[in-house]
């Protein structure tokens, strides 16, 4: 039964991805601006300088299509890793080795959790 739940977990992350894409570059720029404000308040001049450069780059070169492509690439990589773990677990289940099945199930859960946390 837990195996079936793990298979459904990647589907739960898709709405989070679409929500993150709504703001896109504006959200990214706002996040950098907040970091600039924080670094300025704490007198971290070098960090402010780097963040201002990053903000300028975002304002100049960032496109929502580019962000979407980057995020989709990350999702595809994570889904590939999860699929690999699912296949390993399936093979472990066929052997009947319960210790191996538990180990593979744990790896699969960790891979899916990391995917969820990054989105």
Q: What is the distance between the alpha carbons of residues 16 and 119, in angstroms, rounded to a whole number?
A: 6
* Same domain for 88 and 53: no
Q: What is the distance between the alpha carbons of residues 92 and 101, in angstroms, rounded to a whole number?
A: 5
Q: Tell me what pLDDT residue 78 has.
A: 84
Containing domain of residue 51, as a range?
Answer: 19-62
* Same domain for 76 and 58: no
pLDDT in tens, 1-40: 444 444 444 444 444 444 444 578 999 999 999 999 999 9
- Indicate the number of domains in the chain: 2
Question: Do 10 and 79 meet the contact criterion of CB atoms below 8 Å apart?
Answer: yes
pLDDT in tens, 91-101: 877 887 778 77
pLDDT in tens, 39-81: 999 999 999 999 999 999 999 999 999 989 998 998 898 888 8
Helix (H, G, I), strand (E, B) or coil at 93: helix
* Same domain for 82 and 108: yes
Helix or strand (DSSP H, E) at 16: helix 2-41
* Same domain for 119 and 82: yes
Is 3 part of a structural domain of the chain?
A: no
* Same domain for 77 and 52: no
* Same domain for 118 and 99: yes
* Same domain for 77 and 57: no
Is 2 part of a structural domain of the chain?
A: no
Q: Tell me what pLDDT residue 48 has.
A: 96
8 Cβ contact list (under 8 Å, min separation 6): none
User: Rounded to two decimals, what is the model's pTM?
Assistant: 0.51
Is 54 part of a structural domain of the chain?
A: yes
Q: Tell me what pLDDT residue 92 has.
A: 78
Is 106 part of a structural domain of the chain?
A: yes
* Same domain for 119 and 76: yes
Q: How far is CA 30 from CA 15, 24, 82, 96, in A?
A: 22, 10, 32, 52
Give the relative orientation of helices 45-61 and 2-41 as an angle to the nearest 10 degrees.
120
């Amino acid at each position: 039964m837990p195996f079936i739940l793990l298979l459904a977990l990647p589907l739960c992350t898709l709405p989070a991805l679409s929500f993150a894409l709504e703001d896109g570059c504006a959200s990214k720029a706002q996040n950098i601006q907040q970091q600039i404000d924080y670094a300025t308040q704490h007198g971290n001049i070098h960090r402010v300088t780097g963040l201002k450069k990053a903000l300028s780059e975002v304002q100049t070169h960032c496109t929502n299509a580019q962000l979407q492509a980057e995020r989709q690439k990350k999702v595809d990589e994570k889904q590939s890793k999860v699929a690999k773990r699912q296949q390993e677990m399936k093979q472990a289940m066929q052997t009947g080795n319960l210790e191996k099945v538990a180990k593979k199930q744990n790896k699969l859960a960790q891979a899916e959790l990391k995917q969820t946390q990054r989105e």
